[in-house]
Amino acid sequence: MSANDRIQWLHKMISENCYPNAAHLVDKFSISPRQAQRDVEYMRRELDAPMCYSHLHKGYYYKEKYSLPLVLETENDMDIHDVWRGMRNFDAQNAERAVMQLQLPYTAVLEIKDRMTVLNLRGFIVSDEPHHRYRCEFPSVELFIGIIMSTGADIKVIEPLWLRERLVEFAQRVLKNNPNDE
């Protein structure tokens, strides 16, 4: 994972009041504690992120509303200048320039009462919440729906509503295409 991925993840977790810290970065991205601290310092110093540390929650929060710049680039990341040049050739009507936007992972809160399923989904779970609820993060909706379906467990999608609706639509399509009367 690139520095951009780590910065995006850290920003998303802070924005969702999950109080991430450098140890969470180390665990999530398998980086050194020093690299995690450099990422935090980079956000503060270079991106002017209004980050504060909460001793009560043992993690970072924003003391005021904050958004990341549209594109982050560090010397450790791949050179995207060729991509930008290609995007400038985009002929969409009234488009003066194309914009490359960072893709943030999707998040969902699931209710999972089966401990084995929780263990199996541990790679997607970023935080535990009360009442057998878990905040999950995933790169692709289709992949996540497939994983939820493949567990065979009783999983309830608490939020977001659109994910629950997508899951129901998928299940209805499967039932329609596989009638019981055959």
pLDDT digit string, tens, across residues 129-159: 899 999 988 877 777 888 888 888 889 999 8
146: its two tokens: 């497939």
Q: How confident is the model at residue 174 (pLDDT cuts 50, 70, 90)?
A: confident
Cα 11 from Cα 115, distance rounded (Å): 29
Q: Is 136 helix (H, G, I), strand (E, B) or coil?
A: strand
What is the spatial distance between Cα 63 and Cα 49, in angstroms, rounded to a whole number?
9
The alpha-helical segments, DSSP class H, found in the chain are: 3-15, 22-29, 33-45, 81-88, 115-120, 141-151, 161-177
Over pLDDT 70: what percentage of the chain?
Answer: 79
Statement: residue 23 has pLDDT above 90: yes
pLDDT at 1: 60
Residue 89 has pLDDT above 50, yes or no: no
Between CA 33 and CA 21 the distance in angstroms is: 10
Q: What is the mean pLDDT of residues 2-22?
A: 89
C-alpha–C-alpha distance, residues 49 and 33, integer Å: 20
Strand partners, 121: none
Decide if pLDDT at 93 tops 60: no
Distance (Å, rounded) from C-alpha 98 to C-alpha 144?
Answer: 30
pLDDT of residue 142: 77
Question: Please, what sign has the CA dihedral across residues 67, 134, 32, 62?
Answer: positive
Structure tokens belonging to residue 8 = 């995006």
Q: In this structure, are residues 112 and 83 in contact, taking their beta carbons and an 8 Å threshold?
A: no
Lowest mean pLDDT among 14-23, 98-107, 150-159: 98-107
Position 173: which residue type? Answer: R
Q: Do the Cβ atoms of 17 and 54 come closer than 8 Å? A: no
The residue ranking higher by pLDDT, 175 or 85, is: 175
Looking at residue 182, what is its pLDDT?
59
Q: What's the rounded mean pLDDT across residues 8-34?
A: 91
Q: What are the percentages of helix, strand and coil residues in the chain, rounded to 5?
A: 40, 15, 40
Q: Is the pLDDT of residue 62 over 90?
A: yes
* Model pTM above 0.85: no
> Cα angle at 104 between 100 and 107, to 5 degrees?
155
Helix (H, G, I), strand (E, B) or coil at 140: coil
Predicted confidence (pLDDT) at residue 168 exceeds the cutoff of 70: yes
